[in-house]
């Protein structure tokens, strides 16, 4: 029989760097979960990822205080900033650009993000990534 779900918790955790310090520790502790179990399991699951990459994580909390978690791919904005080699997007989007990405880079990011995007094919996923790039102030070449 399936366990009864108490709730969900969404966090962005750096890959391979989960620790009991804030924000992870307090968020899990106030729900009565074992913080070290989560940190060890998360770090083991993300050891092949690039260290420090922010990974959106959804933790399913059960009534018996056990948990499961699902790790999604890094945010599109993070991948675009990495591809364009910039620290942050444009402050005044529309009138200034802060860098550029190629269509090939957008396609590569779309392939990585495909399972998390709401798109039926790769072309639609590329359009989503291009839209995110433009809204950050990046030029798509």
Measure CA 104 to chain center: 21
Give me the mean pLDDT over the 32-48 stretch.
Answer: 92
Give Rg (Cα) of the chain.
18
38 and 88 housed in the same domain: no
**Half-sphere exposure in the Cβ direction for 106 (13 Å, CA):** 21
Query: Are the C-beta atoms of residues 110 and 117 closer than 8 Å to each other?
Result: yes
37 and 81 housed in the same domain: no
Identify the pLDDT of residue 94.
76
Measured CA to CA, the distance from residue 8 to residue 17 in angstroms comes to 21
For residue 58, the enclosing domain spans 5-71
Please state at what angle helix 122-136 crosses helix 103-113, rounded to 10 degrees: 110
- Residue that is last in its domain, among 48, 71, 94: 71
Measured CA to CA, the distance from residue 4 to residue 64 in angstroms comes to 8
66 and 91 housed in the same domain: no
pLDDT digits (tens, 9 = 90+) for 66-96: 999 999 999 999 999 999 888 887 788 877 8
65 and 13 housed in the same domain: yes
- Residue that is last in its domain, among 51, 71, 91: 71
Average pLDDT for the chain: 90
pLDDT value at 62 more than 90? yes
pLDDT value at 109 more than 80? yes
pTM: 0.86
Q: What is the CATH number of the domain that holds 101?
A: 1.10.10.250
Give me the mean pLDDT over the 18-30 stretch.
Answer: 90
Identify the pLDDT of residue 1.
62
Q: What is the CATH number of the domain that holds 29?
A: 3.30.1550.10
Give me the mean pLDDT over the 35-53 stretch.
Answer: 91
Domain count, the chain: 2
Measure CA 7 to chain center: 20
């Amino acid at each position: 029989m399936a366990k009864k779900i108490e709730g969900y918790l969404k966090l962005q955790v750096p890959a391979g760097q989960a620790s009991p310090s804030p924000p992870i520790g307090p968020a899990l502790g106030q729900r009565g979960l074992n913080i070290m179990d989560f940190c060890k399991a998360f770090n083991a699951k993300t050891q092949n990822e690039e260290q420090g990459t922010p990974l959106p994580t959804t933790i399913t909390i059960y009534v018996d205080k056990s948990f499961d978690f699902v790790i999604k791919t890094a945010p599109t904005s993070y991948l675009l900033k990495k591809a364009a080699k910039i620290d942050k997007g444009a402050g005044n989007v529309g009138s200034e650009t802060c860098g550029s990405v190629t269509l090939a880079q957008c396609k590569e990011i779309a392939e990585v993000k495909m399972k998390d995007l709401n798109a039926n094919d790769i072309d639609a996923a590329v359009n989503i990534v291009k839209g995110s790039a433009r809204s950050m102030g990046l030029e798509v070449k």
